[in-house]
Amino acid sequence: MRYVHDENFSQIAGDDLMHTDFEGCTFTGCDLTQCDFTGTVFIDCRFEDCNFSDAKINYVALRDVRFFDCNFADVNFAMVDALLFIISMTRCNLDRSKFYSLK
């Protein structure tokens, strides 16, 4: 497991982010289409203008994560880690996204 703290990421594309803990990080203009986030943890992170279309987010922990102007088309949130699942989404595209089993 890798730990990343207080980093800024800009315009990354399709990087391998599996099994990484991100805390206090900002992601801007990233193309994460079909990226595999299995087992990744995001704590107090911010995403702006990022594309998550068809991303695999099984067992991802989203703890106080904020999304602005992001695209989540075809993303299945049903298998995220529900423990401390706290997100906010502003002006995001959620077409065909699935949230069943989450409250």
* Domains, the chain, ordered by start: 2-90 (2.160.20.80)
pLDDT per residue as tens digits for the range 33-70: 999 998 999 999 999 999 999 998 889 999 999 999 99
Which pTM does this prediction carry?
A: 0.90
pLDDT value for 88: 96
Amino acid at 93: N
Three-state helix/strand/coil letters over 28-88: ECCECCCCECCCCEEECCEEECCECCCCECCCCEEEEEEEECCECCCCECCCCEEEEEEEE
